[in-house]
């Protein structure tokens, strides 16, 4: 059984979170998808462990921008893909936090309690089947220095450790990008 007092997410600190398992299935077998004037292409990420659809104009965030945006080295995602202005990001991290698939409901409880209080606004928290992977889906708003940030996060277990993938954008870009974010997150599959 997983016992978590403080779960460290690459870009957030999360202290302790209970709901039912809503077995909703996401499926997306497309290689290239066009969504609201945004071309998505399949990319191989996390050292070849996952496939994900990503906007074709996104690139790997430079180490300089990564250090500015995620100043705490121990909490920095291992990969971040971003638009030219760095206002829309897809952050990925295969953490050192040990957890099996059966531990995910407990992890969800911890995360949910963190994001269900100020300064965060929790929009959604549920268990999902993501293309055959039991997963946690969190949707929330977080504060930034000069704006609010919309986050769509999926967490699953890979090789006995948590994998966290977060799409985020400024609140001003949320309406346009939410359908695209859901397509991106819904496209995640394990590479075989």
**Residue 125: predicted pLDDT:** 96
Answer whether residue 14 is part of any domain: yes
Answer whether residue 2 is part of any domain: no
The conformation of residue 48, written as its DSSP 8-state character, comes to T
Q: How many Å apart are CA 44 and CA 53, to the nearest integer?
A: 9
Answer whether residue 158 is part of any domain: yes
Q: How many Å apart are CA 76 and CA 91, to the nearest integer?
A: 9
Tell me the whole-structure pTM to 2 decimals: 0.81
pLDDT for 117-144, tens place per residue? 999 999 999 999 999 999 999 999 999 8
**How distant, in Å, are the alpha carbons of 39, 54, 99 from that of 32?**
7, 9, 32
Domain that holds residue 82: 7-190
Residue ranges of the alpha helices (H) in 70-117? Answer: 104-115
- Please give the average per-residue pLDDT across 52-57, as a whole number: 96
Report the mean per-residue pLDDT for the chain.
Answer: 83
**Lowest model confidence (mean pLDDT) among 10-19, 37-46, 74-83, 93-102:** 10-19
More confident site: 72 or 14: 72
Place 83 in a pLDDT band, splitting at 50, 70 and 90: very high
Q: How many Å apart are CA 91 and CA 79, to the nearest integer?
A: 6
Q: Over pLDDT 90: what percentage of the chain?
A: 71
72-92 burial, b at 16+ Cβ within 10 Å, e below that, comes to eeeebbebbbbbeeeebbbbb
Answer whether residue 71 is part of any domain: yes
**How distant, in Å, are the alpha carbons of 12, 49, 56, 60, 78 from that of 63?**
19, 22, 20, 9, 11
Counting the structural domains of the chain, the total is 1
Place 36 in a pLDDT band, splitting at 50, 70 and 90: low
**Residue 172: predicted pLDDT:** 94
Give the CATH number, domain containing residue 35.
3.40.1000.10
Answer whether residue 25 is part of any domain: yes
Answer whether residue 129 is part of any domain: yes
Answer whether residue 1 is part of any domain: no
Decide if pLDDT at 99 tops 50.
Answer: yes
Answer whether residue 20 is part of any domain: yes
Closest CA to 164 of 72, 86, 113, 96: 96
């Amino acid at each position: 059984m997983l016992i978590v007092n403080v779960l460290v997410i690459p870009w957030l600190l999360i202290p302790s979170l209970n709901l039912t398992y809503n077995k909703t299935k996401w499926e997306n077998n497309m290689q290239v998808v066009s969504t609201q004037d945004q071309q998505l292409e399949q990319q191989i990420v996390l050292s070849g462990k996952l496939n994900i659809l990503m906007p074709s104009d996104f690139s790997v965030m430079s180490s300089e921008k990564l250090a500015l945006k995620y100043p705490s080295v121990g909490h920095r995602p291992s990969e971040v893909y971003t638009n030219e202005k760095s206002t829309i990001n897809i952050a990925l991290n295969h953490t050192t936090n040990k957890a099996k698939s059966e531990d995910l409901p407990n992890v969800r409880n911890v995360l949910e309690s963190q994001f269900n209080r100020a300064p965060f606004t929790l929009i959604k928290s549920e268990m999902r089947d993501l293309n055959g992977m039991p997963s946690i889906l969190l949707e929330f708003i977080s504060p930034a220095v000069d704006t609010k940030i919309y986050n769509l996060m999926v967490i699953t277990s890979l090789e006995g450790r948590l994998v966290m993938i977060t799409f985020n954008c400024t609140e001003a870009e949320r309406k346009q990008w939410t359908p695209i974010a859901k397509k991106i997150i819904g496209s995640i599959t394990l590479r075989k």
